[in-house]
Each structure stands twice: as structure tokens, then as C-alpha cells.
Copies of this chain bind each other. A is one copy, B any other.
Amino acid sequence: MQNVGFVLPQEPEMTDFLPVKNDTFLKALRREPTDYTPVWLMRQAGRYLPEYRATRAKAGSFIHLCTNPQAACEVTLQPLARYPLDAAILFSDILTVPDAMGLGLYFEEGEGPKFQRPIATEKEVQALCVPHMQESLGYVFAAVSTIRQALGGQVPLIGFSGSPWTLVCYMIEGGGSKDFRKIKTMMYKRPDLMHQILEVTTQAVIEYLQAQIQAGAQAVMVFDSWGGILAHQAFQVFSLQYMQRIVQSLPKQVVRKTQAGSHADSFSEQIPSIVFTKGGGLWLDALAATGASAVGVDWTVDLGRARTQIGQQCAIQGNLDPNVLFAKPAHIQAEVAMALQSFGAPSAGSGHVFNLGHGISQFTPPESVSVMVDAVHEYSSRQRMVPT
């Protein structure tokens, strides 16, 4: 992807930021008491919103939205103007890193992302290297800083990356896949090559997330969208260990300069991390052991069971089926209540961030999101008033 006519900001660490006002999301990730359960939605800035479709039409393409920091900022803020969400998430594509590695990301109307030059030979594996972050991905970090400034401390900004395994799935398959035959053939036939690609990609993801944090991200999330296609043993070896390395390589705390005129020169921020393996419900123990602040879970997971299993080790994020948002308001409220009941009343040492179990569908009625977000806030506030 090419930058679309914007000037990179000065050194990101020089940017002045405001501390966050609504820190419910960050508190939940730190497993500190909160007044209610914070909520945000995966893909909350997206096609289900008419204002998103308008901005996208104006920008001309999805790629233009991603590469233009002002446009990325605009769409990132759209859902926050509509709903009292407790976090913003950087608007970007999951495949920016392999694109920066030279694979040539492109989109065909109505289809998922694809690569012009997928990895097919050993020579191509050997040629892979970690891209220069500012040169090739500066537009992402510029978007992070722009959004953080525009948020003005309203809610925290989440940065993100695909997991190495998930990125490599796309890099080898060249796009989405039904059976992941190419990557699995390489994995089972040439595990050495597979690890070589994963090593380079992991290093790139670490630098990518570090730069996002430096640019202003207040939390980071690693999306392991395709970890769930792996066999039990293979998941540990080909996905989990690399996510663990990422989590452990990121700064846990950063110092930010304050805006001119503030009463102090700087303030420090903890940077929590979230790992999310779609279809990874069987591996929650292992995911919690990565050291991440939270584990994301999809709707196949019972939140109560997940909490019993890992609740004291890290926070849990999830997990409504996005299709619940096609139901009537009363049913959406009932499903929200059921999820919150299943997690149970808050207690010391546990934390829950409400979310969907996967990205919101483009066909979702925007009113449904309103119903859901309000239900989360109201029901979880009441939960905290009841003596347990």
C-alpha cells in the first residue's frame, strides 16, 4: 500500500497526549474494580455504519482509508460518536505487515484481502526480512497519533496486529482459504521453513506494535484469527509460542510527554495486551500463560467456565455471537444479561471486557449496537449493586 499524500508526524515520542478520562477498559484489563463492565466491538468502525460507508465512498477505497491518517481517524471515531463505547481501536488492515514485507496487498470488490506475491518457494522464504517500520508503515503510526490526539483522552486507543501464524496463513495461501492446504502442507512437510517465516514475521510484529505504542496506543491486541485451524500440538508450536514472545517483548509501561501548560512534564501509562485466538477455547490455559493482560474468547466459550479456569490469571474479553445483533431488542438484552450472569459478579482479581466473539457483521442494524452497549452498561452496573 502507498501513503496517500500525508506528512509523517515528528518523532512520535514528542507528541503531546492527554491521560485518559474513561479508564474503565484499562482498569478491567488490570483486573481492578470498575463501576460497570466496559464494552467495545471488534470491527466497530465498519460497513454497518452509514457514516463509514459515506467516508469510504469519499476516500475511494478501503486502502485509502487505511493509508490516510485523517480518514483512518475519522472512521475510528465514528462509532464513538454514536455509542458510549469504552475504547477506540485503530482503523487499519490486519495485513499491513506482510504488505510492508513486499507481498503486495490488494482487495477485489466483495472478496477478502489477497497478495500479489504469496510465498511459494524456499528462495522466497529466505528473502523475507523485517521491513523498516517508519518507511513502510509510517502511515499506521501517523494514524495512531492522529487518533489519539483527536480522542483527547475520551477513551483509550487500542493498537493491534495479526498474530504471526495468522499473517503467515495469508502470506502462503495468498488470501483466505477453506482448507489451508498450502500452509499446512508446508507446516507438516517443512516445519523448518515454517519456523523461519514465523521468526521473521514475529520480529516484524514486535517492532510494529512497539511503534504503535510509541505513537500513542494505550493497549494492544493480537488477533490470531486462524489459530483455531491448528491441531492441539501444532497450535502450541506454530502459533502460541510466537504470540507469547510478542507479549513478552512489549513495554509494559511508557512515559508520555504532557501537553504544553499541563502541571507536569510527563505521565506514565501501563500498556495492557490482549491475545485472541478465534476457536481457541480449548487452549485458554495456554493463552493465559503467555502473560497477556487478557484473553479474548469467542461465543463457543462459556464465560463462567473460562473465568473459573483463568479468571485470576488474566482478564477475559468477549463473547457475544455477532448474529445476536439480528435479534429483537428484548432478545439482545437477554443475551447480554446471560453473558454477564455467566461471567458472574465482579470480584477482586478478575476482569471482564464485554465484546463480540468476532467482528461485527456488515449487515447489523446500527440500533442493535445501541441496545447491546446500553444493556451491558446497565445490567453490569446493577450487578455491582447486588450484594454477592
A321 touches B231 (CB 8 A): yes
Instruction: List A294-338 residues whose CB lies under 8 Å from chain B.
Output: 299-302, 319-321, 323-324, 326-328, 331, 335, 338
Interface residue A121 (Cβ < 8 Å from any Cβ of B): no
Is there a chain B Cβ closer than 8 Å to A117's Cβ?
no
Residues of A159-196 contacting chain B, CB below 8 A: 179-181, 184-185, 187-189
- Determine the chain B residues whose CB is within 8 A of the CB of A180 once the complex forms: 323
Contacts of A320 in B (CB 8 A): 231
**Most chain B beta carbons < 10 A, residue from A179, A232, A299, A319:** A232
Q: A232-B301, A234-B321, A331-B189 are in contact. Are A361 and B282 (CB under 8 A)?
A: no
Distance, CA A282 to CA B306, complexed state (A): 11
Docked-complex contact A189 and B282, CB < 8 angstroms: no
Q: Is A281 among interface residues, defined by CB-CB distance under 8 A?
A: yes
A366 smallest CB distance to B (angstroms): 16
Q: Is A19 an interface residue (CB 8 A)?
A: no
Question: Do A302 and B232 form a contact, CB below 8 Å, given A181-B323, A181-B363?
Answer: yes
Which B residues are in CB contact (< 8 Å) with A321? 184, 188, 231, 234
Residues of chain B lying within 8 A (CB to CB) of residue A319: 231
Docked pose: A331 CA to B192 CA in angstroms: 13
The answer to whether A338 and B233 touch across the interface, beta carbons within 8 angstroms, is yes
The reply to whether the CB of A345 lies closer than 8 angstroms to some CB of chain B is no
Which listed residue (B179, B232, B300, B363) contacts A230, Cβ 8 A? Answer: B300
A235 located at the interface, meaning its Cβ lies under 8 Å from any Cβ of chain B in the complex: yes
Instruction: Using A189-B328, A281-B281 as known contacts, say yes or no to A184 and B234 having CB atoms under 8 A apart.
Output: no
- Give 1 or 0 for each of A265-287: 1 = CB within 8 Å of chain B CB: 00000000000000101100000
A228 within 8 A of B: yes
Q: Which residues of B contact A335 (CB under 8 A)?
A: 188
Chain B residues within an 8 Å CB radius of A187: 323
Bound Cα distance from A181 to B228, whole angstroms: 21
CB-CB < 8 A to A323: which residues of B? 179-181, 184-185, 187-188
Contacts of A282 in B (CB 8 A): 281-282, 300-302
- Docked Cα-Cα span, A335 to B181, in Å, equals 17
Distance of A208 Cα from B6 Cα, bound (Å): 66
- Residues of B near A338 (CB, < 8 A) are 233
Is the Cβ of B181 less than 8 Å from the Cβ of A299?
no
Question: Which of B184, B233, B363 touches A326 (beta carbons < 8 Å)?
Answer: B184
Contact partners of A327 in chain B: CB under 8 A: 185, 188-189
* B residues less than 8 Å from A281 (CB atoms): 281-282
By the criterion CB–CB under 8 Å, are A179 and B361 in contact?
Answer: yes
A309 to chain B, nearest CB (A): 11
**Besides A184-B321, A185-B323, A231-B357, 11 other A-B contacts (C-beta < 8 A):** A179-B323, A179-B361, A181-B363, A188-B324, A188-B335, A230-B300, A231-B319, A231-B321, A232-B302, A282-B300, A282-B301
